[in-house]
A and B are shown apart, each in its own frame.
Chain A
């Protein structure tokens, strides 16, 4: 899944695969699989990569289709001297992550959509207390209990409304099993760097599917955390993890300071993969598993003489606005492909700001769009552009309406 044209508007050093820390071969790397390709499920890759990234506390609760993350952790974590704990609920699990993160430990929890909703309070508390931590969401269809098939319907939740209050969370969207592993490594690094919760947002397909993956080597050194509440032993000022500020001016000052950090993240951490975008007239925008379907359709569209390309956001927050904005110059239209009723399309429209048509094609409820359906949507956009078929509407839900 290496991009043919790896380029990133504004952030060339982070294009393509999200920056895997160059720790391969570092001391302590598991000798049996380091550097060698193994077949793993996406969920297992997440768990193993987390351990190699220094995660020593995992708190979770079973839910399809993410349960393998917890199952794998339950087997591996004790061997690493870490803590695996099946909490009594998702609410408990995220608060355990809060506690472990306060003590400076790399900690993680994982769930699927309904379970992530339960974690929202704890995530807000973590953001309010400036605590790093990794939350994995292997999305399934919603709302409510929904279904157990793959979905991307938690885009809004992850990028805009993961909890109450003024805050953001970095959201990474892997698209291959390899990236499931790499993104967890990245997530821990970003979380520590910016002292913020980070979400890895994948879906049931990516969690359950098998692909060859090269596991990153073990992290050599964990960052120093002078803010951690791990006992001052009378040698330093006491530290506190807290999100309660009753003096409005104090709470405002902290929020403003946090948003300065968010601005830095927006400026430096936007990541995308681009495929045939340079001369593309119809630019598809898709993330996660959908991006792979879209990529197949783009290839077929090119065979048919339609200049299509694909921008795949790797970070959903910060949204890669710079790459979309740059594509406005050459593109005549955009088409987002999503496994939901049309969520990311709003962010694309915000960036495009009326300068071009932005269409949407999606399936929802756990239905995965086929490459053929996406190709149809591209062809409709193409006809609409040339005026051959004025029935081409900007939005088409395949069979979902």
Chain B
């Protein structure tokens, strides 16, 4: 699966730090191959570090337009949304909303509930089995309920973006599949994809036969899967300077 099968208007939500922004950058760059125009809306007015607005140049290179909060990148600590966001609702091509973490971040999304509700859209809930406070299906389900309550929008699919940053191995990814399946099953939502870092392409067994979630064999959330279905190969864009592979010491 090269690019997840999502609708051209997609909202991305989840807990702080599960990797929403990195997922959005990958999705935007990939959708730029498919659509004439792609817009990314940085709706994160909660966290001022490691946000999609830091990657404006990277996105612009591929023709992806970024709509950022008015003071993003200026270190002015003012949570203000741009009126330009409304242009996204009438734009041709694909639109991705990168929403801030938790229900706090989703509150800003609620501002656009009516506009989004009128558009055929996907709302993806990104989960990471290794992220503190959403590391169990129970916790992940509870947080989505809070996000849905704050945004007054409902998730349409789960993205399993389980990773341990630079320590991610094939076992890391495989060890998250049971968690993601169980979360999707409890929520009654499809597991849209499991992200696999580029470096693990070919290393990780990828399943030949997709099993519809909810009907497949149920495994305990902690069980180690043998293969990954609907793998979405992603690059790591969001990192600190010293994590740049070109700058690894000997």
Contacts and interface: CB of A to CB of B under 8 A. Distances in A.
Interface of A: 32-33, 37-41, 44, 48, 64-65, 68, 147-149, 204-205, 208-212, 289, 292-293, 295-296, 298-300, 302-303, 366, 368, 370-372
> Main SS of the interface on chain B?
loop
B23 to A, nearest CB: 14
Nearest to B249: A299
B128 A39 contact: yes
Given A148-B48, A296-B247, A39 B242 contact: no
Contact of B48 (A41, A64, A210): A64
Given A40-B132, A208-B49, A371 B165 contact: no
Given A289-B240, A292-B242, A303-B250, 7 more contacts: A33-B132, A37-B167, A65-B48, A68-B16, A293-B242, A298-B249, A371-B244
B10 interface: no
B141 to A, nearest CB: 15
B130 interface: yes
Nearest to A295: B249
Contacts of B133: 44
A98 to B, nearest CB: 29
Contacts of A204: 49
A296 B248 contact: yes
Contact of A366 (B50, B75, B131): B75
Interface residues of B, number: 27
B14 to A, nearest CB: 12
B48 to A, nearest CB: 6
29 contacts: A33-B135, A37-B130, A37-B164, A37-B167, A38-B132, A39-B17, A39-B130, A40-B17, A40-B132, A41-B17, A44-B132, A48-B132, A68-B16, A205-B240, A210-B50, A210-B165, A211-B165, A212-B130, A212-B167, A289-B240, A292-B242, A295-B242, A296-B241, A296-B249, A302-B249, A366-B75, A370-B241, A371-B242, A372-B247
Nearest to A210: B17
Nearest to A177: B165
- By CB atoms of chain A within 10 A, which of B163, B240, B244, B249 has the most? B249
Nearest to B131: A39
A44 to B, nearest CB: 6
B164 A209 contact: no
